[in-house]
Amino acid sequence: MDSASLSFLGQQLAYSLPQLLVYLAGLILAIVFLRKYPAAALLVLCGSVVLLFTSLGQTFIQFYLFRARVESGWTAAGYGQMLSIVSVVASIMRALGLALWLAAVFAGRKSKTIEPL
């Protein structure tokens, strides 16, 4: 790998750093609260893992495609199509991770009955 490629990868990871820190915080908090709130913590843990791997995976796949495009001489259309596919899959995975986080908000809640006035 040349320095330009590593610079590109470092830049992409730096752009993702705020999200990665939130996902890591979700992992840590889920582990800390696993015994106290098992259902919610497990959902947060799973969601955080999905989101973390999606963010890192998308960055590394885009880096690989960037290098493959240069080395293999892909057309701009082919490269764009591959990036679109990666983006769609990453979007679906992020939706799954956020859905797990959303489910965690309501997991293990006891319903309160509303008494008539």
Q: Note the pLDDT of residue 100.
A: 97
- Give the structural domain span for 80: 3-106
116 lies in some domain: no
69 lies in some domain: yes
87 lies in some domain: yes
Q: How far apart are CA 113 and CA 106, in angstroms?
A: 16
pLDDT above 90 (res 117): no
Domain count, the chain: 1
Buried b (16+ CB within 10 A) or exposed e, 14-32: eeeeeebeebeebbeebee
Mean pLDDT of 15-27: 96
What digits encode the pLDDT tens for the residues 58-105?
999 998 998 888 888 888 898 999 999 999 999 999 999 999 999 999
Looking up tokens 């915080």, which residue turns up? 25
pLDDT above 80 (res 116): no
3-class DSSP assignment, residue 34: coil
27 lies in some domain: yes
How far lies 92's CA from each of 23, 24, 86, 114, in Å?
Answer: 17, 20, 10, 37
